[in-house]
Structure 1
Amino acid sequence: MSLLMTGGTGFLGLHLVREQVQAGRPVTLLAHAGGTPAFERVERFLDATGTPVPEPLDRLLSVVDVDVRLPLLGLTADDARVLALEAEELWHVAASVVLDGRDDHVWQSNVVGTENVLAFADLMPAGAVFRHVSTAFVAGKVRQGEIREADTAGTTAFENTYEHSKHTAEGLVRHWAKQRDRSALVLRPSILVPGADTVTASPEHTLRTVSRIIDRILTRASTSDSRLVLRVGADPRAHLNLVQVDWAAKAMRLLGERVRTDVVTAHVVHDKDVPVRTISAALEDTSHVRLRMMPAAPHDPTDTESYFHRRAAGFLPYLFHRRHYDTSLTRRLLPDLPAPDQVDRDHLRRCFAVPAEARA
């Protein structure tokens, strides 16, 4: 019996794979074909992070090329059935986190993809369990107060299509689990950032995406000023929940081991938020830009500001968030897991850094 995983070569997925193979658990990656082969990506990541595994990687890791946007993940009916019947556990991690307006792509990947993965999961043995990586941002436009796991089912207003798609996918998972009498664990991480073993060549994450947009703006801008000023709508009292990806992956693995029945939803978040002012300061430390916070986006944006607002449209609403997340379930299930280190300004500088090879 094996553990199947979609999205195993993404920013979170690589850390989840590492958690499993380091524990000697066989993993079959349901990987999207194209680019660097999935096995090679995992091997490079494990080498770069100095991760020991108990036996040769090719005994613990196998790869099946799929496309979650297609029925049966693009597999033949026979191949899908054989693969599913050998599964003890299926982790659905694959998702599009694009925040710049490619709404059709996001919906196809996150909603249609989840529908197809669930149809594949129908073929698994009755005792097999399902793990779905969602996001804490299914809470949508609720910008203040405490967000509890059970409070978001009726959410109808969202900051971007990504949130809406992940909220819809959660609903699909819960409905499937209850209709099929299956166990499903819905995991809701907040904004994932690199941890202690930051690898510069790791896949894109949200803060690096923002930094990359800034880098492009500075390349395009023609100004003699030492710093380029960008006006943005923001609440100076706002704060965001950022959690280290390695800590989140460990928490998810442990939750997966301890939740084997029912349909359970758990926030996987940091116990301390990061002020937006600290995030802004770290960004300014690593680039020649200054963010000027205003009560709302400027009504007369410069061309540069318009470009920034368009490219970062999905992220900018978070600069008004002052909410926090209930973690009572995660703390109850994982009383022995130490809290993650504080995400401070120095840590954020490393998160925003864009490697020279990525700037080329």
Structure 2
Amino acid sequence: MTVVLTGATGYLGSHALARLLAAGHEVIALVRGPEHRAHTRLLQALRATGEPLPAQPLAHCTTIRADLDQPRLGLDGKQFKRLADRMDTLWHLAGCTTLTGAPDMLQRTNVEGTRSLLDLAGASRHCRHVVHTGTAFVAGGRLHGTVHERDLDSSWGFLNAYERTKFDAERLVRAWALTHDVPVTVLRPSIVVGDRPTPAAAPRHPHAVIEAKAALLDRLPDLRRTASVRHVRVACRPGAVLNLVPVEFAVDAMVRLALREPGERLQVHHVVHPADTLVTDILDALSAATPRLRLHPVSTLPAKTALETQVHAGLEGYSAYFDLHRRYDRSSFDEAVGAELLRPSPLDPAYLTDTFTSLRRNKQPVAGGAAR
């Protein structure tokens, strides 16, 4: 099978690429920037996953320079049609995931990029499956209750432009599915994390990004001048939860769903952990990862100290989710992959702390850059 894959140099995408290649599939990776640089970035990202790799990891992977921000992916008409006719499956994993990103940038990448990829699938004579990777956070500003896999409701509003654009992208995908005779699978992962040491230049999961910001905070002059621990309050609704999913489980499930024979024309699956994680446990893990800071959840925070202002700035975007009490239904997911056959590891305190210390535990940084 030939899979056209976007996002191969990202955190989740690199794990997916490793699994696809290990299963013997041909992969066409759509990449940004010059293709000779993309080859190096793909190798770096693959080696950082910890997945078993063949001696020549990219022997069955070709790269094509494409730009999600441009009509037809920046390709001319002949290139676009040639690419369309080479693929059996389109798997869209790329996107801008910056929670505080500029709305116009998020719109171009997440919405218009999805539109161009759907045009690619529509132009294909051989495409028999479109897999779109969205997010569980298309639920937007809904704080309570259970979000079902088929739900796509904007009445709650959105906490940021990222959620809004991922909602709009999924709406495009659903509309396309109604007018094309190609099965579509929408995958909605929650917050994907990992506990493996992360090379400095490798793609990062959200907790590794926060870790990098926390490391900067830990080096603030007013903290370095004293050996004492500083206590910082963080606004958090009592009992708030987030859904974190280990990358190994997420990519295993997503690859199974992407490669299985689709049943219905449109399927939507929440790729989430069966047990939510308390925000207080996440803050405890972040405290354990920052020796000079102790984070204390409080229900209200009318006035911040200077240090608290800096910590909140470091958590900007992520802390918007510290009020959530909602749950994600995964009935369709369990039926498709087998709830008893595929279970994620428990997210105990040690695992959570490791997700925030993956960068500093790495002993061998990889040279070069990495991006989604």
What is the TM-score of this pair, normalised by structure 2?
0.88
The one-letter code sitting in structure 2 at the alignment partner of 1:236 is P
The one-letter code sitting in structure 2 at the alignment partner of 1:95 is G
Change (3 A) 1:262 1:143: same
Name the SS for the 1:141 alignment partner: coil
Change (3 A) 1:324 1:190: same
Partner Cα separation in structure 2 for residue 309 and residue 283 of structure 1: 13
Alignment match, 2:243: 241
Name the SS for the 2:192 alignment partner: strand
Name the SS for the 2:294 alignment partner: strand
* Greater Cα shift, 116-125 or 326-335: 116-125
Change (3 A) 1:47 1:8: closer
Alignment match, 2:17: 17
Partner Cα separation in structure 1 for residue 334 and residue 65 of structure 2: 37
* Greater Cα shift, 90-99 or 330-339: 330-339
Name the SS for the 1:340 alignment partner: coil
Alignment match, 2:302: 299
Shift of 1:139: 0.7
Change (3 A) 1:286 1:311: closer
Shift of 1:188: 0.3
Partner Cα separation in structure 1 for residue 22 and residue 130 of structure 2: 21
Partner Cα separation in structure 2 for residue 156 and residue 285 of structure 1: 35
Partner Cα separation in structure 1 for residue 203 and residue 194 of structure 2: 10
Partner Cα separation in structure 1 for residue 331 and residue 356 of structure 2: 31
Alignment match, 1:337: 341
Q: Give yes or no for the alignment of 1:274 onto 2:268.
A: no
Shift of 1:273: 1.3
The one-letter code sitting in structure 2 at the alignment partner of 1:315 is Y
Change (3 A) 1:227 1:105: farther
Name the SS for the 2:322 alignment partner: helix
Partner Cα separation in structure 2 for residue 116 and residue 156 of structure 1: 28
Q: Which of structures 1 and 2 has the larger relative contact order (alpha carbons within 8 angstroms, sep 6+)?
A: 2
Name the SS for the 1:153 alignment partner: coil
Shift of 1:258: 2.4
Does the aligned pair in 2 maintain the 1:126–1:182 contact within 8 Å?
Answer: no
* Greater Cα shift, 255-264 or 38-47: 38-47
Change (3 A) 1:221 1:181: farther
Shift of 1:156: 4.3
Partner Cα separation in structure 2 for residue 304 and residue 102 of structure 1: 26
Partner Cα separation in structure 1 for residue 232 and residue 106 of structure 2: 28
Partner Cα separation in structure 2 for residue 272 and residue 117 of structure 1: 34
* Greater Cα shift, 221-230 or 12-21: 221-230
Change (3 A) 1:130 1:61: same
Does the aligned pair in 1 maintain the 2:193–2:355 contact within 8 Å?
Answer: yes
The 5-angstrom pairing of residues 215-234 of structure 1 reads 215-223=215-223, 224=226, 226-234=228-236
The one-letter code sitting in structure 1 at the alignment partner of 2:222 is S
* Greater Cα shift, 284-293 or 201-210: 201-210
Partner Cα separation in structure 2 for residue 101 and residue 221 of structure 1: 29
What is the TM-score of this pair, normalised by structure 1?
0.91
CA root-mean-square deviation? 2.3
* Greater Cα shift, 80-89 or 306-315: 306-315
The one-letter code sitting in structure 1 at the alignment partner of 2:275 is K
Partner Cα separation in structure 2 for residue 310 and residue 56 of structure 1: 43
Alignment match, 1:152: 152
Partner Cα separation in structure 1 for residue 75 and residue 192 of structure 2: 31
Structure 1 residues 61-113: Cα deviation after superposition (integer angstroms, max 9, x where no partner): 11111111111111111111101111101111111111234333222221121
The one-letter code sitting in structure 2 at the alignment partner of 1:347 is Y
Alignment match, 2:317: 314
Partner Cα separation in structure 2 for residue 294 and residue 58 of structure 1: 49
The one-letter code sitting in structure 2 at the alignment partner of 1:232 is V
Structure 1 residues 315-354: Cα deviation after superposition (integer angstroms, max 9, x where no partner): 1121111221111111111116320100111111111015
Alignment match, 1:114: 114
Partner Cα separation in structure 1 for residue 43 and residue 199 of structure 2: 15
Percent of aligned pairs with the same amino acid: 31
Partner Cα separation in structure 2 for residue 21 and residue 35 of structure 1: 19
Does the aligned pair in 1 maintain the 2:35–2:63 contact within 8 Å?
Answer: no
Structure 1 residues 27-52: Cα deviation after superposition (integer angstroms, max 9, x where no partner): 01001116983333333344452514
Does the aligned pair in 2 maintain the 1:218–1:228 contact within 8 Å?
Answer: no
Name the SS for the 2:5 alignment partner: strand
Alignment match, 1:3: 3
Partner Cα separation in structure 2 for residue 354 and residue 59 of structure 1: 29
Does the aligned pair in 2 maintain the 1:227–1:290 contact within 8 Å?
Answer: yes
Partner Cα separation in structure 1 for residue 70 and residue 101 of structure 2: 22
Structure 1 residues 198-242: Cα deviation after superposition (integer angstroms, max 9, x where no partner): 544431211122222222223235143622333221023112111
The one-letter code sitting in structure 2 at the alignment partner of 1:125 is R
Q: Give yes or no for the alignment of 1:286 onto 2:255.
A: no
The 5-angstrom pairing of residues 168-247 of structure 1 reads 168-194=168-194, 198-201=197-200, 202-223=202-223, 224=226, 226-247=228-249
The one-letter code sitting in structure 1 at the alignment partner of 2:325 is R
Partner Cα separation in structure 2 for residue 17 and residue 74 of structure 1: 23
The one-letter code sitting in structure 1 at the alignment partner of 2:244 is L
Does the aligned pair in 2 maintain the 1:101–1:314 contact within 8 Å?
Answer: no
Shift of 1:13: 0.1
Does the aligned pair in 1 maintain the 2:34–2:65 contact within 8 Å?
Answer: no
Alignment match, 2:253: 251
